[in-house]
């Protein structure tokens, strides 16, 4: 998506460890009209999918998912990072390896909010190795819901999480895919623009 690629080039900064910081417009300070345009684009790309729920993971996915959900007119449910596990059977539980903090944490979602009647679109800010997405997909699988696909704002294509999921038949739509990145350059995947 041209608007997003231009904004990454203008305002993104690259940190050691292959981390792209976009916290001036996406995941710390949030540019709402801009993210709303991303929401419209996700709706356009998934217009054929019977999505009735958007699923994300706290924290930075939540704000983005809310703006996306306005275009689908469906609720957002988010997986919470758990301090302690309360295994009373009321929660779906899984483990996620954090890309940015390098630790494994438990995530939970109340069984009240996801079940076999649901058609789920997962939304997240970044896709790197795919650990966050795998965790969310585990929860969807356990609930019996149908996974319609995943909508990602920025995929770091060189870390392969997205391509591995596509190879397994999961529909992954990323609005920008970065194929390589150095301290002073970002190269986007060419065939990723439909508009």
Q: Which residues bind ligand 5GP (CB under 6 A)?
A: 19-21, 27, 60, 99-100, 124-133, 156, 161
Least gap, CB of 126 to ligand 5GP (angstroms):
4
Least gap, CB of 151 to ligand 5GP (angstroms):
13
Query: Helix, strand, coil proportions of the chain in percent (round to 5)?
Result: 35, 35, 30
Cβ proximity to ligand 5GP, 104 vs 115, nearer residue: 104
Strand partners, 122: 55, 150
Cβ proximity to ligand 5GP, 81 vs 111, nearer residue: 81
Spell out the residues 6+ positions from residue 148 whose beta carbon is closer than 8 angstroms to its own.
46, 49, 50, 51, 119, 120, 121, 171
Cβ proximity to ligand 5GP, 15 vs 115, nearer residue: 15
Least gap, CB of 50 to ligand 5GP (angstroms):
25
Cβ proximity to ligand 5GP, 59 vs 85, nearer residue: 59
Q: Token digits for 119?
A: 């058609």
Least gap, CB of 190 to ligand 5GP (angstroms):
21
Task: Supply φ then ψ for residue 105, to 5 degrees.
Answer: -130, 155
Q: Are 117 and 145 within 8 A, CB to CB?
A: yes
């Amino acid at each position: 998506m041209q608007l997003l690629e231009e904004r990454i080039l203008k305002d993104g900064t690259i940190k050691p460890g292959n981390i792209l910081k976009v916290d001036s417009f996406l995941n710390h300070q949030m540019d709402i009209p801009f993210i709303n345009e991303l929401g419209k684009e996700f709706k356009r790309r998934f217009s054929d999918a019977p999505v009735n729920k958007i699923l994300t993971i706290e924290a930075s996915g939540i704000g983005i998912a809310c703006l996306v959900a306005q275009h689908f007119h469906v609720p957002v449910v988010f997986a919470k990072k758990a301090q302690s596990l309360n295994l009373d059977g009321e929660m779906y539980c899984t483990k996620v390896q954090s890309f940015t903090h390098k630790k494994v944490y438990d995530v939970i979602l109340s069984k009240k909010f996801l079940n076999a009647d649901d058609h789920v679109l997962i939304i997240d800010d970044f896709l790197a190795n795919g650990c966050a997405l795998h965790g969310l997909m585990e929860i969807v699988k356990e609930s019996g819901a149908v996974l319609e696909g995943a909508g990602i704002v920025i995929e770091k294509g060189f870390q392969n999480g997205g391509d591995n999921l596509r190879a397994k038949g999961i529909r992954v739509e990323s609005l920008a895919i970065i194929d390589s990145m150095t301290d002073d350059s970002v190269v986007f995947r060419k065939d990723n623009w439909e508009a």
